């Protein structure tokens, strides 16, 4: 299961960001799956951060929303899970992301 989740996460990461993760840990605790990832810094991202920090922050926000949408779609197709929510937080300074997949207890 952890390997499957890692593969899905990296596939979406490569699709959206052009690269997989440099670190990815998956933990499963009852109905919550947590993915702890470190992403490589993209050169275009660093350029935006230096020139227009507010635009970079907005782009990061929207990419995170798109990431959650694609992750949910992929998991719903490949599993029979009832996903209650996907919560994701990304810190552009450290390039760390935490994604929580909350499964319906039923």
The residue extents of the domains of the chain are 1-105
Tell me the sheet residues that pair with 29.
Answer: 32
The CATH architecture assigned to 1-105 reads 2-Layer Sandwich (3.30)
Per-residue model confidence (pLDDT) at position 93: 80
Per-residue model confidence (pLDDT) at position 31: 94
The answer to whether the beta carbons of residues 7 and 27 sit under 8 Å apart is no
> Whole-model pTM?
0.84
Per-residue model confidence (pLDDT) at position 65: 94
Tell me the sheet residues that pair with 35.
Answer: 26, 99
Q: Edge to edge, what strands does the sheet with 96-103 contain?
A: 23-29, 32-38, 96-103, 83-91
**Sequential pLDDT tens for the chain (106 residues):** 899 999 999 999 999 888 888 899 999 999 999 999 998 776 566 666 667 677 778 888 888 999 999 999 999 999 989 999 999 998 878 889 999 999 998 6
């Amino acid at each position: 299961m952890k390997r499957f989740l890692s593969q899905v996460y990296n596939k979406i990461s490569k699709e959206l960001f052009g690269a997989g993760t440099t670190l990815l840990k998956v933990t499963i605790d009852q109905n919550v799956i947590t993915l702890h990832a470190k992403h490589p810094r993209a050169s275009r991202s660093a350029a935006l951060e230096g020139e227009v920090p507010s635009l970079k922050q907005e782009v990061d926000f929207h990419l995170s929303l798109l990431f959650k949408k694609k992750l949910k779609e992929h998991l719903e197709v490949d599993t029979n899970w009832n996903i209650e929510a996907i919560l994701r937080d990304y810190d552009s300074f450290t390039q760390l992301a935490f994604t929580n997949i909350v499964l319906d207890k039923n």
